[in-house]
Structure 1
Amino acid sequence: MAAVLSAFGSAVWIEHRAHLHLDIVIAAVAMTMILGRVQRGAHPGDRLIGTAVLVASAASASEVSSLLHRFPLFGDAAFTAAMAATIWIRRFGPRATKAGTVVVVPFITLLVTQGQGVTSHAASYDLWCALIALVAAFWVAVYQVGAAAMGFHEQRPRPPAPPSLITPSSAKRVPASTRMACQMAVALGSAFAVGHMAFHDHWPWAVLTAFIVCSGARGRGDVLHKGVLRAAGASVGTVVATTIAGAFPPGDRWSVVIIFAVLGVASWLREISYVYWAGSVTAVLSLLYGYFGQNAPSLLETRLEAILLGAALGIAASWYVLPVRTGDVLKRRTAEALAALSAFLSSPRGDHTEIRRRQAHFQHAVTQLEQIAKPLRAHRMLTGAALRADTIDAMHTCVEPVRTLASIFASIDAETDTEPAWEPLRRAVAANVGAIRRALGSKPGAPYRRIEAQPSSPASLALTALDAALAELSRFEPRAAPLSSRA
């Protein structure tokens, strides 16, 4: 929020000096808010590349915004193609994914500033948008680098993801990035078409909601879960904010104070649940439009209808256009977590750096698995179907034993120490990990065999705990409970 307020002040100064419109200020706040999450923990080189990409994207978004006003059909197509492309390029690796996320930022800002009476376009507008993007990137870098220098742990880069398991069968399938790009294109194209016909000047609400529902989807179950939460949060936020905005006349500065207060709370509550973020951001948009005199109660019904329609279009596109099945995602991420666990158990004893690196890879793999946990746990709570959610819970219980073993492995001197008494137990647990990996891949081999051992040391206790978790995972072999079945 310090970066947001600094960018806001800088943009207000530029807007006054250059006699621009307030959409420049809105763009600065929105870009800084989103970029603050995208660039968190970025290396200096990646940060510079991200800044260059952001500046170019801001100028392009300005052109698309102009098209939306002058030639709506071409503008809709350009916006849809750009958003689909930012997802499609994820197939080229983490840096391409990061670049695509940065490109999205000005385009989302474009939707925010499309309200009636908000946007204006001068001949040199592209250059001003690029300058504002540079200002946003500057303040984000200043505060994030400063926070990292002061030791804030959340600013550190995340560990790299373990390598994906690519099998001949999976290589023949349409990549997930291509599927998600097609889903986004269909959702946005439908939202533009229906939005223009049904909501006229208020079409951005439907388009923005469709984008939010489709973005970051990790399977059909995740889309449905997030779509419902986002629609519910956005609806509540719209109702509350429209009521509050009606208490202030257009142009009242207290509306601006409330907007920044809500943004600050939203950035905090987002870590708890996305429903709070969706509600808060929608409330901010309602307050913003109220600031520009669009706080009439008659608009409330229109906004709610557009939000619900956009959510429905996003969910429908994700479910029926080259769907990414939740079971497939669960199976792949479980296999990757097991691969990381297998690599950790074979870590060279006494090599602190390598042991910690493999532990971090396993932790990252479990974190990736946790990202799809909420819809599966909600499904378990509603229907009692526990197998898939229990798979994630079982992998999560491996984290603490792995942490204990990492400390023990690192304390061993491989050159002078004799083989520890728990080494046969470690080999047996590693063999069971391999058995479950083969079962997930429907490959022949020895099945999982539960280990009967009496723990006599911290290491054997941790290994026994790992095997107990593996016993839970062994229940979910494809023959017994198809992890690759439809969501």
Structure 2
Amino acid sequence: MRTFSARLRRALHFDPEWLHLRATAVTMATVLGTYGWALLIERAAGLHVDSVVQAVVIASSLGRVQRGLDGADRLLACAVLPCAAAGGAELATLIQRHPTAGDAVFVLGMAGAIWLRRFGVRATRAGTLLVLPLVAVLVLPGGTGPAGGHERTGWAAVMALVAVVWGSLLTWAARRTRLIRRPPAAEVTAAAAGPRRGGVPASTRMAWQMAAALAAAFAVGRMVWPDHWAWVVLTAFLVGSGARSRADVLVKGVWRTVGAAVGTVVADALAGSFGPRSDAVVVLIFAVLAVATWLRELSYAYWAGCVTAVLSLLYDWFGQSPGGLLHTRLAGIAVGAVMGIAASWLVLPIRTSAAMRARTAAALAALTELLEADWHDGRAVHLARARFSHRVGQLGATTAPLRILAAPPLPRALSVRRRRSVDALRAEAALRHCVEPVGDLATAATSTMSAVSATSAPGALADDPSLRGRRGEVAAHTLAVRRAIGRRPAPPGAPAAAPPAETRPTRPQAAVAWKALAAIDAQLDVLTEVFGRPPIPPASHPAAATARP
């Protein structure tokens, strides 16, 4: 009962400061502005309405992507997205004229865009931009557009450039007026540097999974539903895209199927109420798209249901009533979801426990960076604090599916998996509880440093001997947890942990820092319970020590 009340409270207050709603307003302004410009271009150039639909699909996806783009990324988007849109238009023509070759190019394009993530944050964002026009290829109902030509390809690039420029202007204005927050700097979002180990990188695994899922979806879709194969392929892509782990794909697949079923049934009830080319359908499409964009942060099921309803309404606008295709659509969505889940579980799978341990270790690396930083350098302190908060957020996104999987009672055979999920959630909660003390610690360090600089007097926290000892103790504890996560013993000759500092500081800012360090140390104890202690070095083991000559 308490769990249900907590979930209901979260559902009613998932956006307390209206941050998601404000971001949704900027996204929909981008979509509506792009729609207006696309209509003008379509009428002036004598294009087909499918060009407008492609522009709207790109703008709706771009609105979410642009929240994390900085100035350099926007310039990258102005170069990449128009080229990708032109390629998407050519690909749509290829799929219509030569289906087998078009399907193969589509699979390779999607997999290649995901594989680019191995080259860093910029490459990841470029790959995301490359995917947007490819998704637009799957949205249009089959046979609603002409085969295309080079002129249509050029206009597709122009519309994509309009979407980028218009969205960039709106995002810039929203950030200047503090309607939405600025994205973290590239230094903050950079991946943590860890030891190089063997094995296939996560980006390569995800690329192979996507290739396998899409190839199977194309094959089954073309064979079973030749006129509606796109439903299977689109679902397989949505389930597998951005998958952080096997649990993430499983939850997204279930939500996608359930949400799509509800969205299809609702759209089926409205089918035929407005008629082809009805302006009311266009208004309803944009209204449902806005709700989907806002509620996506609450649950993927709302996004899946609303987007499926939008696609059904789009079919209704084109005069293809979805009422008679209800069972076909539901079957195609279910098959696509199964293929996406199967690919993630069978093709170079990314274990949820491995992803969770990697994210936890990355957050602890940022905490170590803060504890070992020179507290005379305010920029280094604030950078480490921002990195820690960002990586804790990434860990929360990785463990989010486990909240659902760990909720229902499971049979005894699956109790081990449930216990692992509970342990992962405990680790995420412990690091989340460290965010506030880490902020207090960084604020105390930098505020004291500023005060010392202003008065030209000694007394910075970095020079406090008792606080320095306490920092060393917590840093050693953090390093021990990181070694336990990586199952790495301490190297021979490594210094022992610093002894606990017995003298507590009396100055106000130093006392705040001491309290923050104590709170962090308490959460590190929780992490030690979850991950255990580091393995004993072979040379330190009693049997090994006796056997040595």
Task: Sort the TM-score into its range (normalised by shorter chain).
Answer: over 0.9
Counterpart in 2 of 1:299?
Answer: 325
Q: How does 1:23-422 map to 2 (within 5 A)?
A: 23-158=50-185, 160-168=188-196, 170=197, 172-382=198-408, 383=410, 385=419, 386-413=422-449, 416-417=458-459, 418-419=463-464, 421-422=466-467
Deviation for aligned residue 1:157: 4.0
Instruction: Compare 348-357 and 438-447 and name the one that shifted more.
Output: 438-447
The alpha-carbon distance between structure 1 residues 450 and 29, as it changes in their structure 2 partners (threshold 3 A), is farther
Amino acid at match of 2:261: S
Whether contact under 8 Å (1:59, 1:127) holds in the other structure is yes
**1:444 aligned onto 2:489:** yes
Whether contact under 8 Å (2:275, 2:317) holds in the other structure is yes
**1:433 aligned onto 2:465:** no
**1:423 aligned onto 2:449:** no
- State the distance in 1 between where 2:166 and 2:191 align: 34
Percent of residue pairs identical:
45
Runs of 4+ in 1 over 4 A off after TM superposition: 446-456, 478-481
Instruction: Compare 357-366 and 31-40 and name the one that shifted more.
Output: 31-40
Deviation for aligned residue 1:5: 1.0
- State the distance in 2 between where 1:126 and 1:201 align: 24
Whether contact under 8 Å (1:448, 1:474) holds in the other structure is no
The alpha-carbon distance between structure 1 residues 428 and 264, as it changes in their structure 2 partners (threshold 3 A), is same
SS at structure 2 position matched to 1:353: helix
Amino acid at match of 1:149: R
Deviation for aligned residue 1:439: 1.4
The alpha-carbon distance between structure 1 residues 358 and 193, as it changes in their structure 2 partners (threshold 3 A), is same
The alpha-carbon distance between structure 1 residues 202 and 315, as it changes in their structure 2 partners (threshold 3 A), is same
Deviation for aligned residue 1:372: 1.0
Deviation for aligned residue 1:163: 4.1
Instruction: Compare 70-79 and 220-229 and name the one that shifted more.
Output: 220-229
Amino acid at match of 1:366: V
Q: How does 1:445-484 map to 2 (within 5 A)?
A: 445=490, 457-477=511-531
Amino acid at match of 2:243: A
- State the distance in 2 between where 1:296 and 1:144 align: 36
SS at structure 2 position matched to 1:40: helix
Deviation for aligned residue 1:115: 3.2
SS at structure 2 position matched to 1:124: helix
Amino acid at match of 1:36: G
- State the distance in 1 between where 2:213 and 2:290 align: 30
- State the distance in 1 between where 2:448 and 2:533 align: 41
RMSD of the alignment, in Å?
2.3
| Partner deviation per Cα, 1:410-430 (whole Å, 9 max, x = no partner) | 123377115164332222111
Counterpart in 2 of 1:484?
Answer: none
- State the distance in 2 between where 1:451 and 1:397 align: 22
- State the distance in 1 between where 2:399 and 2:465 align: 37
Number of residues of Structure 1 aligned to a counterpart in Structure 2: 479
Deviation for aligned residue 1:367: 1.0
Deviation for aligned residue 1:448: 8.8
Deviation for aligned residue 1:173: 0.7
| Partner deviation per Cα, 1:78-101 (whole Å, 9 max, x = no partner) | 000000000011111111111100
Amino acid at match of 2:181: E
| Partner deviation per Cα, 1:344-401 (whole Å, 9 max, x = no partner) | 1123224322211110011111111111121222232224522121111111111011
Instruction: Compare 253-262 and 115-124 and name the one that shifted more.
Output: 115-124
Amino acid at match of 1:210: A
- State the distance in 1 between where 2:471 and 2:501 align: 13
Deviation for aligned residue 1:4: 1.1
Whether contact under 8 Å (1:147, 1:155) holds in the other structure is no
| Partner deviation per Cα, 1:20-79 (whole Å, 9 max, x = no partner) | 111011111111111112222423332122111111111111111111111100000000
Amino acid at match of 1:127: G
Instruction: Compare 244-253 and 68-77 and name the one that shifted more.
Output: 244-253
The alpha-carbon distance between structure 1 residues 135 and 475, as it changes in their structure 2 partners (threshold 3 A), is same
Relative to the length of structure 1, the TM-score reads 0.93
Deviation for aligned residue 1:176: 0.8
Deviation for aligned residue 1:338: 0.7
Amino acid at match of 2:57: A
Whether contact under 8 Å (1:227, 1:315) holds in the other structure is yes
Whether contact under 8 Å (1:435, 1:448) holds in the other structure is no
Q: Which has the higher contact order (CA 8 A, sep 6+)?
A: 1
Whether contact under 8 Å (1:148, 1:156) holds in the other structure is no
- State the distance in 2 between where 1:238 and 1:39 align: 29
Deviation for aligned residue 1:143: 0.8
- State the distance in 2 between where 1:271 and 1:447 align: 45
